Structure formats: C-alpha cells, structure tokens
Amino acid sequence: MTLNDLRRIPLFEPLTSEQLARIHTGLRERRCEAGERLFAQGDVARHFFLVADGSVKLSRLSRDGDEKVIEVIQAGQLFAEAVMFMDERRYPVNATTVTETRLILFEHAPLLGLLDESPDVALKLLGSLSRRIHGLLSQLDELTLHNATYRLISYLLSEGRATAGEVRLAVPKQVIASRLSMQPETLSRILARLRTRRLIEVQGDTIKLCDERGLRAMLES
Amino acid sequence: MTLNDLRRIPLFEPLTSEQLARIHTGLRERRCEAGERLFAQGDVARHFFLVADGSVKLSRLSRDGDEKVIEVIQAGQLFAEAVMFMDERRYPVNATTVTETRLILFEHAPLLGLLDESPDVALKLLGSLSRRIHGLLSQLDELTLHNATYRLISYLLSEGRATAGEVRLAVPKQVIASRLSMQPETLSRILARLRTRRLIEVQGDTIKLCDERGLRAMLES
DNA sequence: GACGGGACTTGATTCTGGTCAAGTGGGTTC
DNA sequence: GAACCCACTTGACCAGAATCAAGTCCCGTC
C-alpha cells in the first residue's frame, strides 16, 4: 500500500504528506484465506482495518454459540475504527474473513496522535461513527418493525440499485441470512416464494430482480 | 443553567472559561409537559439537548405507524449530539417527553466551532458516539439472540443494580415494553409468570427483585 | 466415475409472541 | 358518587418463523 493509495481513503484525505507518512509507518498488510478469525469479541484492540480485497463478516455471539452477523465488509471499506474511542479498547464484535481476503492493518497510535493537529480528521471520524449509528438504527427498526420478507426485499433492492437489477451475492446465503436475522431455511423459502411469483430469478449466487415495481409494492403491505 | 452547571457536564469538562462562555451563548431552556413532541424523525436538526429533569423517549416509526422506542433518556443525559455530524443534518429518531420535563437546548454552531481548537472535546464526542454504537450493538443481539423473557430479565437486573434490588420504573410499562421490543401484553404476561415463580414482586411501577440468583439462572437456559 | 462434504432446498411440526377482545382498577372530572 | 379514561391484565386464538429431518445439487478429491 503506497502513500498514494492511502490518500485515496476518504478518512485520510485532509492530511498533509508528512502526516500521511506517519500513518504509513504503523501499517501492515495481511493475506487471509476464507474463514480466518481476525479478532474475537472482547479482544484488546490494537488495529483498525481496511479490506483491500475480499470480504469480512462482523458478528456477535450469544453465550450458547448462536451467531448474528452485524455487517459484511467489502473491498474498500474501513472497519473497527470506532473501537479506538471506546472506554475499554476491546472489539465489540468478532471479525472473520468470508472469502480469500487482503487486509491493511493500521495501528491506533499514529492516527490518535494526529487528532490533536488535524480537527478535520476528527470531523471525518465523527461523521463515520454517526453514519454507523444511523445504520444500526435502521437495522434495529427493520428487525422490530418489519418481517423477514420485508427485510430480504429491501436488502435486494438496495443491493440491486447500482447493478441494473442484478444482485450477485459476494458471500454465502447463510451469511446473508444471519445478517438479515433469519434462518437459512427461511431465506430459502422466501426466495422460492418470490420466484414463483415471478418477481425474481435465482441462479446460484446471482439474483435477477425481474419486477422491481412488484417488489417495491410488497414493501407497502 | 449557569456556567458552573455547564462545566459539570463531562463533554464540556476540557473547556476553558472563555470557551464555556461561548457555548453558553447558544443555549436555551425549555419546559414541557408529558407527551410533547420535541422533534420528529427527518426534521432538520438545529439543537442537541440535555435533560435537566424528567424523561424523554427516542423512537422510530414504521410507515404504518408502529412505534419502537430506541432509548429512554433520563435527567443528566445528553441526546442528539451525533446528528451534528450526519451528512444531512436531520434527526434519525422522534423525541417525545414521557413526563413533565425541563430541557436545555444547545445550538450546533458554538460547539462545532470549538472542535478546531479543542481536540479534547472532539475526543469526548468520539467516545460518546462509540458508546452509543456499543449500546446499539447490544440491543441488536439481544433482539436476535435472545427471547422476550431474557430481554426483560436482563433489563431488570441492570436497572436494579444500583438500587438494592428494587426497580422503580420512571416511565409507563408500555414504554418499557416498546424499548424491549415486545407488546405491552407480553410484558405483562412475563411479569406475571416471574411473579408466580416468586422471583419478583410487582406493585404498580415498583418491581422488587426477590431472587436475583434465580433471575440470573433464567438467563442461562 | 464413485465418493464425500458442504451449501442449499423442501417438508412437517412446534412454539414464541402478536393480535383481538374483554375485563379490572385507579385516578380525575363533573 | 357516577361517568369516564387510561394503563394494565388476562384469555383465546393465530401466524410467522424456528426447528428438526430428509433430500438435492454442486464441486472437490481420489
């Protein structure tokens, strides 16, 4: 990861070259295969991460081992920056690679040191944390205010927005199911139902949204 | 609200008297009765708030009018600071007083202006946002990983911690129910069940935890 | 090409919690 | 004190999704 790569990350955009170089010193690269555990909930946090390639799932575990995926992180996204500012600096989630993945690890200290001299970076961080809060609020009311079908459809619509009505799932369906807080069986059944109604077509990990209008209509009821 | 009162708010603790005075200029007091709407989800945000006395509920509304209480804010707590840093500065929740309430309103501009000169305040804010993230994560996995009884018991135990095993509900049971994502009927039924098992005693808005050990044991199964 | 494993699908059944409806009790108003 | 309202409780019923159990499909290896 070169200095120029670094500059392309929005968070670092306000920094001078000298500051950027300081960040660059506390930086490491790591390659993982699918299924590697990066850190566990409760671990003392030493880094935050950038997914350069691949995908990582963040999840919480209940005492008896049930897992709930909170978020799936894709290439280009930062994660675990918020931990730097927690009272105890411990990760509140588990992180596990879902596919083969290339990661950049950032040490806390260099960035923390910069906060004093660059209020702009502080503002960027505040912005990114409040976006995360917003996202979590959405997840919360999707869960309580809407049923499984609604959640799946609105997930498909949001994913399909960029890609001309075709959604390619970057991670196994089980992971999507957990992210949407349902069992794999339920996800499968809902897809089947949408398929018989000719609203979508499913081919392995690719889902074609045949009737976006119809899908949207289902969100109303 | 005097300058000295202001200084006692943790967020403002790092500020000089001169800076504090600047915050003080953009400050207003407001008294509300129970049930007043302070702002609605989607409103352009102009202030953040301190509850001086009383209680405020923050909630989200579904399209068809179902309400989910996200948080109940009590005396001494700030709320809606995160909104300052959102892309569109709009409240992501509704705020409604639950009881008679005295509020302090803070304008955004003075604090935002201070961020450049006081990295400490920025750090405080980052800390408070990451605490909120943590809280939302807990709510998320309580919802998906645990059932209604579990949620209620762990709520009671956390509330009863300070007060020698006696919980006095500051807000109506319906509000608690919504905060815990269940219907009032369900809350009532669970309380009844715990009562017949001699784990608690209920008298109006006061709940006595007779058998904390037993309650904790129920969290295991 | 047979075997094995994992992801996914489908079916049958169960259960938690939601909905609808009626009833209770306390507090306030006239 | 009668009427009313509102929060809460209790009961009967229902439904969405979880669970349990097979079965299918795909893809790797040997």
CB A22, CB A113: distance < 8 Å: yes
For all residues of chain B together, what is the average pLDDT? 95
CA A122 / C1′ C17 distance in Å: 44
CA B181 / C1′ D14 distance in Å: 20
* Measured distance CA(A67)–CA(A41) in Å, rounded: 12
Smallest Cα–C1' distance to nucleotide D18: which residue has it?
A183
* Measured distance CA(A60)–CA(A82) in Å, rounded: 16
Q: Which nucleotides of C are covered by protein (CB under 7 A)?
A: 7-12, 16-21
Q: Residue A89: what pLDDT?
A: 96
Most distant CA pair in chain B, distance: 59
User: Collapsing DSSP states into helix, strand and coil, what is residue A122?
Assistant: helix
Overall residue count recorded for chain A in this entry = 221
Which CATH fold would you assign to the domain A147-220?
Answer: Arc Repressor Mutant, subunit A (1.10.10)
Angle at B66 between CA B65 and CA B71, to 5 degrees: 120
* CB spacing of B140 vs A60 below 8 angstroms: yes
Residues B146-182: pLDDT tens digits? 999 999 999 999 998 888 889 999 999 999 999 999 9
This prediction has a pTM of 0.95
Q: Residue B40: what pLDDT?
A: 97
* CB spacing of B141 vs A82 below 8 angstroms: no
Q: How many CB pairs under 8 A join A and B?
A: 121
* Measured distance CA(B138)–CA(B131) in Å, rounded: 11
- Name the band, by pLDDT with cuts 50, 70 and 90, for residue A192: very high
Q: Measure Cα distances from A156 to A161, A173, B210 in Å.
A: 8, 12, 48
Residues A173-189: pLDDT tens digits? 999 999 999 999 999 99
The 10 Å Cβ neighbour count of residue A145 is 18
**C-alpha distance from A221 to closest chain B C-alpha (Å):** 9
H-assigned helices in A76-201: 108-115, 119-145, 148-160, 173-179, 184-196
Q: Residue A111: what pLDDT?
A: 96
Q: Residue A114: what pLDDT?
A: 94
Return the domain boundaries, chain B.
3-144, 147-220
* Measured distance CA(B133)–CA(A74) in Å, rounded: 20
Please indicate whether the domains covering A3-144 and A147-220 agree at the CATH topology level. no
Beta carbons within 8 Å of B59's beta carbon, 6+ residues apart: B67, B68, B69, B70, B93, B94, B96, B178
The beta-carbon neighbor of B129 closest among A115, A123, A130 is A130
Burial grade of A192 (CB within 10 A; 0-12, 13-18, 19 or more): exposed
Q: Residue A119: what pLDDT?
A: 93
* Measured distance CA(A4)–CA(A9) in Å, rounded: 9
For all residues of chain A together, what is the average pLDDT? 95
- Name the band, by pLDDT with cuts 50, 70 and 90, for residue A214: very high
Residues A7-39: pLDDT tens digits? 999 999 999 999 999 999 989 999 999 999 999
Closest-CA residue of A relative to B142 is A62
**Mean per-residue pLDDT, A91-104:** 96
Could you please report the per-residue DSSP string of B174-197? Answer: HHHHHHTTS-HHHHHHHHHHHHHT
* Measured distance CA(A90)–CA(B220) in Å, rounded: 24
pLDDT of A201 > 90? The answer is: yes
* Measured distance CA(B120)–CA(B115) in Å, rounded: 8
Q: Which of A40, A126, A116 is CA-nearest to residue B130? A: A126
A60-64, A77-81, A123-127, B82-86: lowest mean pLDDT where? A60-64
Q: Which of B108, B129, B219 best tests the A interface by mutation, with the highest count of A CBs <10 A?
A: B129
Closest-CA residue of A relative to B85 is A127
Tell the residue number behind the tokens 């350069």, with chain if given.
Answer: A52
pLDDT of A162 > 90? The answer is: no
For residue A59, the one-letter residue type is S
For residue B171, the one-letter residue type is V
* CB spacing of B133 vs A132 below 8 angstroms: yes
Residues in B whose CB is inside 8 Å of some CB of A read 60, 62-63, 66, 68, 70, 82-87, 92-93, 115-116, 119, 122-123, 125-127, 129-134, 136-137, 139-141, 143-146, 181, 220
The 10 Å Cβ neighbour count of residue B29 is 11
* Domain B3-144: which CATH number of 1.10.150.120, 3.50.50.60, 2.60.120.10, 1.10.3080.10: 2.60.120.10
What token pair was written down for B35? 């049930």
Q: Residue B3: what pLDDT?
A: 87
Residues B10-59: pLDDT tens digits? 999 999 999 999 999 989 999 999 999 999 999 999 999 999 999 999 99
